[in-house]
């Protein structure tokens, strides 16, 4: 950025989120409106996250973006929608130290540079778009002095990627599907903050860091078009499950939380299998991890660990406390001894030591 008249910049860091009641299927593709509510847990921001710096300068001739140090196109509708929505809410900005003054009306003419970096594999089913788009919207909102609250910003992030709306908050978050045609009430709310249930330990077993074959966007489009099971899930199953999950979170009821989380993950993958042609996100290693957890939970008489899998084979394991997490790691390492052939690595999240 050397040689510019002036540059104003800001940096934001946003964690990814993992759904425990899944979003899968849109009722409006352009506005990104889902067919059901979803609930997620936001990870500790010091682990899997996106870091985004946004800069503005009168010398920038067009908007540009770099993702993981490579320039990417901003011409897609999703980026354009987020940029337009944030710009339309921009306010006066003044940096007295640098002697910079930007009037509200000037934002329409000024261009931005965006530098975004994921500290984890992109598009490998670890919700990179969730952290990425939430971070982009949050950073731009800070730069442009947007006054909207987190829920209103979440409705903008949603237009970049559905799951991104849930990354604007920490703790447990619900994306309310909303009823309005314009999507104004399809936004995220916080159910409980990050301190509410801090016994939980999340372990992500990276089964493969390869990019997935079917993107979430095209996968869910095919599911909406072909799966009858999805309609039953969205209308009959998820509304009841969301209420039960809200209750489990409120009461820190791990038994119910784990059962609902595992059931919902399995139903999401059943819906993928019910798609024509079928979509397979999990692999043999994923299935072995499910068996390991199911057998252990049954032998203990009640769940110790919950598992959930997104649009990829990597497992997210939620242990009820640190002691259980240690035991889980031992079991995983015993069954999948680290060697290049198994491809299984573990990251321990939520470790405060
Ligand atoms: C979720 N997933 O609730 C579900 C579970 C994957 C499986 O949200 O098209 O990347 O950008 O709205 O948000 C992945 O979908 O899709 C996702 P778009 P997105 O986390």
Peptide bond into 18 cis (omega under 30): no
Could you report the per-residue pLDDT of 231-271, keeping only the tens digit for each? 999 999 999 999 999 999 999 999 999 999 999 999 999 99
Residue 181 pLDDT class (50, 70, 90 cuts): very high
Overall pTM > 0.90: yes
Q: Where are the domains of the chain?
A: 8-192, 201-349
Which atom belonging to ligand 1 lies closest to the Cα atom of 17?
20
Residue 40 pLDDT class (50, 70, 90 cuts): very high
pLDDT, average across residues 195-218: 87
Q: What is the ipTM of this complex?
A: 0.99
Pocket test for ligand 1, best of 23, 159, 168, 268 (most atoms within 8 A of CB): 23
- For the ranges 93-97, 165-169, 263-267, 274-278, the lowest mean pLDDT is seen at 93-97
Q: What is the 3-state secondary structure (H, E, C) of 25-91?
A: CEEECCCCEECCCEEEEECCCCCCEEEEEEEEECCCCCCEEEECCEEECCCCHHHHHHHHHHHCCCC
Which atom belonging to ligand 1 lies closest to the Cα atom of 78?
11
Question: Which residue's CA is the nearest one to ligand 1's atom 8?
Answer: 163
- 201-349 maps to which CATH number? 3.30.70.890
Question: Which residue's CA is the nearest one to ligand 1's atom 4?
Answer: 23
Structure tokens at 125: 């089913």
64 close to 269: Cβ distance less than 8 angstroms: no
- For the ranges 160-164, 216-220, 336-340, 341-345, the lowest mean pLDDT is seen at 341-345
Mean pLDDT value across the chain: 92
Report the pocket of ligand 1 as residue ranges, CB < 6 Å: 19, 22-24, 32, 38, 127, 129, 161-163, 216-217, 310-311
Among 90, 107, 98, CA closest to 145 = 90
pLDDT, average across residues 88-111: 94
- For the ranges 102-111, 127-136, 247-256, 270-279, the lowest mean pLDDT is seen at 127-136
d(CA 247, CA 267): 20
Residue 178 confidence (pLDDT): 98
Which atom belonging to ligand 1 lies closest to the Cα atom of 125?
6
pLDDT, average across residues 86-100: 94
Residue 350 pLDDT class (50, 70, 90 cuts): very low
Residue 127 confidence (pLDDT): 62
Q: Is the pLDDT of residue 340 over 70?
A: no
* The 49-57 sheet, strands edge to edge: 8-15, 49-57, 111-118, 64-67, 70-72
Q: How far is the CA of 243 from the centre of ligand 1 (A)?
A: 21
Q: Is the pLDDT of residue 45 over 60?
A: yes
Which atom belonging to ligand 1 lies closest to the Cα atom of 163?
13
The more confident residue out of 234 and 5 is: 234
**3-state DSSP assignment of residue 213:** coil
Residue 353 confidence (pLDDT): 28
For 148-153, the CB contacts below 8 A with 24+ separation are: 148/89, 150/188, 150/190, 151/187, 151/188, 151/189, 152/187
Structure tokens at 163: 């799951």
d(CA 116, CA 69): 8
Q: Is the pLDDT of residue 123 over 80?
A: no
Strands 172-176, 38-42: pairing kind: antiparallel
Question: Which residue's CA is the nearest one to ligand 1's atom 11?
Answer: 161
- Please give the class, per CATH, of domain 8-192: alpha beta
Pocket test for ligand 1, best of 223, 311, 312, 313 (most atoms within 8 A of CB): 311
Give phi and psi for 125, each to the nearest 5. 80, 25
In the 8-state DSSP scheme, what is residue 240? H
Q: Is the pLDDT of residue 98 over 90?
A: no
Q: How far is the CA of 214 from the centre of ligand 1 (A)?
A: 12
Pocket test for ligand 1, best of 31, 128, 161 (most atoms within 8 A of CB): 161
């Amino acid at each position: 950025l050397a040689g510019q008249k002036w540059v104003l910049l800001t940096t934001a860091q946003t964690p990814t989120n993992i759904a425990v009641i899944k979003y899968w299927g849109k009722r409006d593709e352009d506005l990104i409106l889902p067919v059901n509510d979803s609930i997620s847990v936001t990870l500790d921001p010091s682990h899997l996250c996106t870091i985004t710096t946004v800069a503005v300068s009168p010398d920038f001739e067009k908007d540009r973006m770099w993702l993981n140090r490579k320039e990417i196109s901003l011409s897609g509708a999703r980026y354009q929608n987020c940029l337009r929505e944030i710009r339309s809410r921009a306010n006066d900005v003044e940096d007295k130290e640098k002697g910079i003054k930007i009037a509200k009306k000037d934002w329409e003419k000024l261009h931005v540079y965006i530098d975004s970096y994921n500290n984890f594999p992109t598009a490998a089913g670890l919700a990179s778009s969730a952290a990425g788009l939430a971070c982009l919207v949050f950073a731009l909102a800070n730069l442009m002095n947007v006054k909207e609250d987190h829920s209103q910003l979440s409705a903008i992030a949603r237009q970049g990627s559905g799951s991104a709306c849930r990354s604007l908050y920490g703790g447990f978050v619900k994306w309310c599907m909303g009823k309005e045609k314009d999507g104004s009430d399809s936004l995220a709310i916080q159910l409980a903050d990050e301190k509410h249930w801090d016994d939980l330990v999340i372990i992500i077993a990276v089964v493969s860091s390869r990019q997935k074959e079917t993107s979430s966007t095209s996968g869910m489009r095919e599911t909406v078009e072909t799966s009858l099971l999805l309609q039953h899930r969205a209308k009959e199953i998820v509304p009841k499950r969301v209420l039960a999950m809200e209750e489990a979170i409120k009461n820190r009821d791990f038994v119910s939380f784990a059962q609902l989380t595992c059931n919902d993950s399995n139903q999401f993958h059943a819906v993928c299998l019910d798609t024509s042609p079928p979509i397979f996100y999990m692999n043999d290693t994923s299935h072995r991890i499910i068996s390991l957890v199911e057998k252990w939970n049954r032998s203990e008489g009640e769940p110790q660990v919950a598992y959930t899998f997104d649009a990829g084979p990597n497992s997210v394991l939620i242990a009820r406390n640190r002691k259980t997490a240690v035991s889980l790691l031992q079991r995983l390492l015993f069954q999948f001894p680290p060697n290049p052939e198994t491809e299984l690595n573990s990251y321990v999240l939520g470790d405060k030591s």
